[in-house]
Amino acid sequence: MKTINIGLIGFGNIGTGVVNALNANSATMASRIGSQIKLARIADVDTQRKRDCDYDPAILGNDANALIDDPSISIIIELVGGLEPARTFVEKALRAGKHVVSANKAMLATFGADLWKLAAEKNVALLFEASVGGGIPIIRALQLGLSANNIRRVYGILNGTCNYILTNMAEQKKSFEAVLAEAQAHGYAEPDPTYDIEGYDTAHKTAVLASLAFQQDIRFTDVYVEGISRLRQVDIEYARDLGYTIKLLGIAKADDTAGSGRVEVRVHPTLLPRESLLGNVNGVFNGIMVEGDLVGKSMFYGRGAGQLPTASAILSDVMSIAESISRGTPPAEHRLVVPPGKKSLKPIAELETSYYLRIPVADRPGVMARLSNALGERNVSINSMIQRGDHPTGRAEVIIVTHKTSEKDIQAALAEIGAMDVTQEKPFVLRVESEL
Amino acid sequence: MKTINIGLIGFGNIGTGVVNALNANSATMASRIGSQIKLARIADVDTQRKRDCDYDPAILGNDANALIDDPSISIIIELVGGLEPARTFVEKALRAGKHVVSANKAMLATFGADLWKLAAEKNVALLFEASVGGGIPIIRALQLGLSANNIRRVYGILNGTCNYILTNMAEQKKSFEAVLAEAQAHGYAEPDPTYDIEGYDTAHKTAVLASLAFQQDIRFTDVYVEGISRLRQVDIEYARDLGYTIKLLGIAKADDTAGSGRVEVRVHPTLLPRESLLGNVNGVFNGIMVEGDLVGKSMFYGRGAGQLPTASAILSDVMSIAESISRGTPPAEHRLVVPPGKKSLKPIAELETSYYLRIPVADRPGVMARLSNALGERNVSINSMIQRGDHPTGRAEVIIVTHKTSEKDIQAALAEIGAMDVTQEKPFVLRVESEL
C-alpha cells in the first residue's frame, strides 16, 4: 500500500486532536482510500510543551519552512491560526506544489479567494472543511452534495462559545457576565473572549460560507457584525414571552430582487421562533441551514469545535487529497470557484426585516402614544408589545416587535425616540427572523 | 465545453423533476463542473402521458435497452423503482461500461452489494445520493465528509409520509385513519399506503445507510420492521404526558460490546424525548443522525422526498460522474466498500432498551400489583406509570415506561400479562430511545 506523508504546522489543541485521531483511525482510513497516511513531520514554535497525545518527538521541530521544503511531504495541515505567518506558510506551500488542508477561517475570510486561485493555478488542493462548523461536513455539502442548486440563503449558529452562553443565560436565568465567567472556567470561552463574543469568529465563518454559496469574493470586512455582549438577561426573557429564542446567527442571503445578484451578509444576535429547528440548537453545538432552489431547506448540525470533531473534518480533507494523489488528478471538492474581486453586496441600511426594541422610558401617561407616533411616522408597524413598569423607580421598559420594515426607517425612528425626554437610556434593538 | 450525454429510464414524478431541474440549472451546473450535461434520451413504458415539464418529444421512447445500448450516452439515471426490471437495466448498463445514478432504495437494499461490486469491477460509478433522505446529502456525508470516523450509530426519520401522519396525529389530535385519509387527499400518501406506513420504505433506506456506515452487506431482509398502523391517538397523548414524542425511526447501531463487530438494524415507532432534535423534525421532513468516534453526534435535515429535492441529489451524482469522466478517473464517492455476504447482525431478541407499554385491564383492586409482579419477576423495573380508569365501562389503561431492559425479558413479561384474566386486550409495546 502506498504511503502518503503529511506535515503538520501548529501543534496546539487541534493539532493534538489530529495526532490522536490519526493514531486511533489510520488503519480505518487506509482501508477506505487505499493508501496509508503517515504524519512525517510537525512544526511548532514550542517544541518543549507536553502534548496529550502519543507522537515521536524526533519528528517535532520549530522550523515550518523546513517542513514545507521537505520533498517527501505531499500534504501540509496548517493549524497555526490567525493571519500571519499562517498565510505566508500556506502560500509558500501552494507555490511549492504541496496540497494544503487548513482550519483557518480568519485567513480564508481575509485571503481566501487569492489562495484558492493560487491553488488552482498550481493544480494543487486547498481544502478547508474544518474552517466552518467543526466536524459538520458543510463545505462538502456546498461543494458537492448541493452543487446542482442555486443557493438562496445560508445561515446558522456558527460559534459554540456564544451558543453556550446564550443557552445558559436562557436556561439558568443568569446574566451574560455570570455565564461568560462559567464558560471561561469550563474552557468554553477564552480568557480574552472578544473574538468569539463580539461575533468576529462567526463573521469569518459567514464570509467563507457566503463566498462558496454565492461564488463571490466576500471577505470578513464585508460582513456587518454585532456580538452578544450587550444582551441582557431581560432580553432573553422578553423574547421568550413573545415566542422567540435569541441566537447569534451568521446570515448570508441572496437579494430577493430577481437578477440583482446582490448578497446581504451579516452577523448579529437574532430572535428566532422558539419552535424552529435552529432555535433548538443548544449548548456548544452548531447548526447551519442551507436553502437551495431545488433542495429547499436543509440543515446540518453537530459539534462546531473541539479536538476530535475538528480532526474529523481535517482528516476527511487529507483523505480526499490522498485519493487525488493516487489518481493523479485534483480532488473534486473545488466546484465552487470564487473569483477574486467579484462581489455585489447589499448594504445593511437596505435590510428589511422585523425588529425587537427595548426602550427604557419614564413610566408616565402619554409615553406609549409618543413612541407609537415616532414609529408610525416611519411606517414602522407594531406586531406585539409588552410594557413592564417598575413603580418604585418610576421607570418602565417598553418591548416592541415590529412587522417587517427597513433598517433605515427603524434607525431613524430610534434616533428620534432616543432623543425624547421620556427615554431614559439608548433604545436597544435586535433583528428578528421569523421565516428562518 | 465538453458535452456529456445522459439517458433517463423512468419518466414519472421524479423523472419530471429531473427534467425541470436540468432545464432550470444546467448552465449553473456546467459552470461548476466545466462540462455540459445533456439529456439525450428518455425511456418509459408510457410515451403518451402528458408530463409537467418541457422536453423534446423526439427523445422519448419505450425501449430502455436501446437507451442503454446507445454509445453516445455515458450516464444512465435509473428511476424505474422497484426490483425488476430496474435491477436488470442497472446491471446491463454497468456491464456495458455506463455510469449509473439511481434513486432506487428497494433495489439497493436487495442487490446493493452485488451491484456496487459489479460497478467497481467495471470501473464505473453507481451513485445513489437520492436513495435515502431525498435532497439531504447523507450518502456523501458518510462516503466523504465523515469518512475518517468509525461510525457508531446512524438513525433517523427517513419517511416523510409517516412523519406527516405522526406530526398531524400529535398536533391535530386525530386518529391514524383520519390523518392517513388526509395525507392521501394531499398526495403525501399513496392510495395503497402499505409500503410507507408498514415501515418497508424506511427499512430499505436503513439497510442502505447501515451497509455504508458499517461496511457490511445489510439487506432489507436483515432489518427488523414494525410500522405505524397500530399506533393509537392515545399512545401519542400518553407519550406526550410522559415527555416524549413518537417517530418512526430507522436505527442502525454498532453493538456496544467492544470488538463484537455486530450491528443491530431495526425500524419501529419510537418514543424520543420531546426536546430532542429528531423529536422536532416534523411534517414531511426527514432528519438523520450520525454518530462517529471522532465527530460525535451530527444531524442532517431536509426534504426527504419531492420532485426537486430528489432531483437535487440525482444531479449532484451526475455532476460527480461528469467530472470523473473529464478526469478519466472514477469519482471519489466510493470510499465505503460493502463486501457481498459480509455481515454480523445482533438479533432483535438481544436488544436492550426502554419500553413503553399500554395495557388495557379490568379496573379493579390488585391489578397493579399483578402487573408489577409480572414485570419485577423478569427484572423489568418501572421508570414511570400512568393509570387511567374509565368507570362506566369498568376498564382502565395502564401505561408504563420501563428502565432499560432486554427485549427477551419484556416479551416474556408481556406474554404472561397478556394471559391474565384481568387483561382485556393484547398489551401494546413501543420502544423508547432516551439517549438519541
Q: Which domains does chain A have, with CATH numbers?
A: 2-135+307-327 (3.40.50.720), 140-303 (3.30.360.10), 351-432 (3.30.70.260)
pLDDT surpasses 70 at B198: yes
Displacement of CA A178 from its chain's centroid (Å): 24
Question: Cell for A402?
Answer: 415590529
C-beta separation of A292 from B134 below 8 A: no
Torsion, CA B273, CA B278, CA B282, CA B286, rounded to 10: -150
Strands A285-292 and A263-273: unpaired
| Mean pLDDT within A253-261 | 82
Contact assignment for A140 to B144 by CB distance below 8 Å: yes
DSSP secondary structure string for all residues of A243-296: TEEEEEEEEEEE-SSTT---EEEEEEEEEEETTSTGGG--TTEEEEEEEETTTE
Nearest to A388 by CA among A363, A371, A365, A369: A363
pLDDT surpasses 90 at B144: yes
Q: What is the pLDDT of residue B328?
A: 83
Counting beta carbons within 10 angstroms of the beta carbon of residue A389, is it exposed (0 to 12), middle (13 to 18) or buried (19 or more)? middle
| Mean pLDDT within B336-353 | 95
Displacement of CA A196 from its chain's centroid (Å): 10
Cα distances from B169 to residues A186, A278, B245, B283, in angstroms, run 42, 24, 11, 11
- pLDDT tens, residue by residue, B63-88: 999 999 999 999 999 999 999 999 99
Return the ∠ at Cα A87 (arms to A86 and A88), rounded to 5°.
Answer: 95
Contacts of A28 in chain B (CB under 8 A): 148, 150
- How far apart, in whole angstroms, are the C-alpha atoms of residue A192 and residue A190? 5
pLDDT surpasses 90 at B259: no
Contact assignment for B135 to A21 by CB distance below 8 Å: no
Contacts of B281 in chain A (CB under 8 A): 277
pLDDT surpasses 80 at A293: yes
- How far apart, in whole angstroms, are the C-alpha atoms of residue B342 and residue B217? 5
Q: What is the pLDDT of residue A236?
A: 97
Alpha helix (H) ranges present in A36-193?
64-69, 86-95, 105-121, 138-140, 160-172, 176-186
Share of chain A above pLDDT 90, in %: 89
Contact assignment for B146 to A137 by CB distance below 8 Å: yes
B205 carries an active-site annotation: yes
C-beta separation of B147 from B337 below 8 A: no
- How far apart, in whole angstroms, are the C-alpha atoms of residue B357 and residue B411? 11
Nearest chain B residue (CA) to A299: B301
pLDDT surpasses 70 at A436: no
Q: What is the band of A49 on the pLDDT scale with cuts at 50, 70, 90?
A: very high
Cα distances from B426 to residues A21, A262, B366, B401, B414, in angstroms, run 50, 62, 19, 17, 9
Contact assignment for A298 to B302 by CB distance below 8 Å: yes
Contacts of B295 in chain A (CB under 8 A): 135-136, 302-303, 308-309, 312-313
Sign of CA dihedral B348, B354, B360, B363: positive
Contacts 24+ apart (CB under 8 A), A373-382: A374/A413, A374/A416, A374/A417, A374/A420, A375/A400, A375/A402, A375/A413, A375/A417, A377/A413, A378/A405, A378/A409, A378/A410, A378/A412, A378/A413, A379/A405, A379/A409, A380/A355, A380/A405, A380/A409, A380/A410, A380/A413, A381/A405
- How far apart, in whole angstroms, are the C-alpha atoms of residue B117 and residue B126? 10
Which residue's C-alpha cell is 439608548? Answer: A426
Share of chain B above pLDDT 90, in %: 89
Nearest chain A residue (CA) to B329: A327
- pLDDT tens, residue by residue, B22-43: 999 999 999 999 999 999 999 9
Tell me which of A205, A253, A343, A346 is the catalytic residue: A205
- How far apart, in whole angstroms, are the C-alpha atoms of residue A179 and residue A372? 35
Displacement of CA B392 from its chain's centroid (Å): 43
Question: Cell for B37?
Answer: 450535461
Q: How far is B395 from chain A (nearest CA, A)?
A: 37
- How far apart, in whole angstroms, are the C-alpha atoms of residue A250 and residue A269? 9
Contact assignment for B141 to A145 by CB distance below 8 Å: yes
- How far apart, in whole angstroms, are the C-alpha atoms of residue B303 and residue B280? 14
Contacts of A25 in chain B (CB under 8 A): 148-150, 293-294
Q: Kindly give, in sequence order, each residue whose CB lies less than 8 Å from that of residue A344, ignoring residues fewer than 6 positions away.
A: A216, A260, A261, A262, A263
Contacts of B292 in chain A (CB under 8 A): 135, 312
C-beta separation of A241 from A273 below 8 A: no
Sign of CA dihedral B130, B133, B139, B144: positive
- How far apart, in whole angstroms, are the C-alpha atoms of residue B38 and residue A392? 75
- As a 3-state breakdown, chain B gives helix, strand, coil percent values, each rounded to 5, of 40, 25, 35
Contact assignment for A312 to B146 by CB distance below 8 Å: yes
Sign of CA dihedral B318, B322, B324, B330: positive
Counting beta carbons within 10 angstroms of the beta carbon of residue B259, is it exposed (0 to 12), middle (13 to 18) or buried (19 or more)? exposed
Q: Kindly give, in sequence order, each residue whose CB lies less than 8 Å from that of residue B305, ignoring residues fewer than 6 positions away.
A: B134, B160, B284, B286
Share of chain B above pLDDT 70, in %: 100
Least confident of A259-263, A310-314, B166-170, B380-384: A259-263
Which of A139, A294, A325, A326 is the best residue to mutate to test the B interface, defined by the most B CB atoms within 10 Å of its own CB? A294
- pLDDT tens, residue by residue, A329-357: 877 788 899 999 999 999 999 999 999 99
Which residue's C-alpha cell is 471522532? Answer: B294
Tell me which of B2, B38, B174, B205 is the catalytic residue: B205
Question: Cell for A125?
Answer: 488542493
Q: How far is B362 from chain A (nearest CA, A)?
A: 40
Contacts of A312 in chain B (CB under 8 A): 146, 148-149, 292, 294-295
Contact assignment for B136 to A331 by CB distance below 8 Å: no
Mean residue pLDDT of chain A comes to 95
Q: How many residues does chain B have?
A: 436
| Mean pLDDT within A389-395 | 80
- How far apart, in whole angstroms, are the C-alpha atoms of residue A162 and residue A201? 10
- pLDDT tens, residue by residue, B159-193: 999 999 999 999 999 999 999 999 999 988 999 99
The H-or-E segment that residue A39 falls in is strand A35-43
Q: What is the pLDDT of residue B130?
A: 98
Q: What is the pLDDT of residue B200?
A: 98
Q: How far is A311 from chain B (nearest CA, A)?
A: 7
| Mean pLDDT within B318-330 | 90
Nearest chain B residue (CA) to A330: B327
Tell me the backbone φ, ψ of residue B424, rounded to 5 degrees. -100, -5
Nearest chain A residue (CA) to B151: A28
* A63: helix, strand or coil: coil
pLDDT surpasses 80 at A162: yes
Beta bridge partners of residue B237, listed in sequence order? none
Q: What is the band of A258 on the pLDDT scale with cuts at 50, 70, 90?
A: low
Whole-complex ipTM: 0.95
Q: How far is B279 from chain A (nearest CA, A)?
A: 10
Tell me the backbone φ, ψ of residue B190, rounded to 5 degrees. -75, 160
Nearest to B11 by CA among B61, B74, B83, B82: B61
Selecting from B140, B281, B311 the residue whose C-beta is nearest the C-beta of A145 gives B140
What b-and-e string marks burial along A141-152, b requiring 16 or more CB atoms within 10 Å of the CB? bbbbbbbbbebb
| Mean pLDDT within A313-325 | 96
Contact assignment for B135 to A313 by CB distance below 8 Å: no
Contact assignment for A25 to B149 by CB distance below 8 Å: yes
pLDDT surpasses 80 at B392: no
Nearest chain B residue (CA) to A138: B145
Alpha helix (H) ranges present in B261-384?
307-327, 367-377
DSSP secondary structure string for all residues of B89-148: HHHHHHHTT-EEEE--HHHHHHHHHHHHHHHHHTT--EE-GGGSSTTS-HHHIIIIITTT
Q: What is the pLDDT of residue A207?
A: 98
Q: How far is A373 from chain B (nearest CA, A)?
A: 40
Contact assignment for B297 to A293 by CB distance below 8 Å: no
Question: Cell for A2?
Answer: 502506498
Contacts of A315 in chain B (CB under 8 A): 148, 294
Contact assignment for B298 to A302 by CB distance below 8 Å: yes
Contact assignment for B313 to A150 by CB distance below 8 Å: no
Contacts of A129 in chain B (CB under 8 A): 145
pLDDT surpasses 90 at B258: no
Counting beta carbons within 10 angstroms of the beta carbon of residue A271, is it exposed (0 to 12), middle (13 to 18) or buried (19 or more)? buried
- Crossing angle of helices B233-241 and B160-172, in 10° steps, is 70
The distance in angstroms from the start CA to the end CA of chain B is: 48
Selecting from B137, B140, B294 the residue whose C-beta is nearest the C-beta of A312 gives B294
pLDDT surpasses 80 at A280: yes
